[in-house]
Amino acid sequence: MSMKIRKAVEEGRAVIRWSHGDWENIGELLVFDSPETAAMEAERDTRGHCWSMADEIWSELCTDVNRAIKADRGLLVVS
């Protein structure tokens, strides 16, 4: 699996989507079919536009394989 993630990062198809959870910000890995779709998703940011902070998401293009693997495993967390 890590080879598929590495390839997605290298090709610009990997995105980390952030959200709030248990007093932390949690990143999850999204892999898209094309770099163009990934770039569009990487600009998604609903912070300040939701009724609840729990519904907010924001994304970034992933350029680090280690962060991508952590996000895929549910281990990319920022307190």
- Has residue 1 got a pLDDT over 90? no
Q: What is the pTM of this model?
A: 0.90
Cα gap 43→41, rounded to integer Å: 5
Q: What's the pLDDT at 46? A: 93
- Express as a percent the part of the chain with pLDDT over 90: 81
Residue 45 DSSP label: B
- pLDDT(65) > 80: yes
Instruction: Pinpoint the alpha helices (H) of 22-64.
Output: 35-42
30-63 pLDDT per residue, tens? 999 999 999 999 999 999 888 887 789 999 999 9
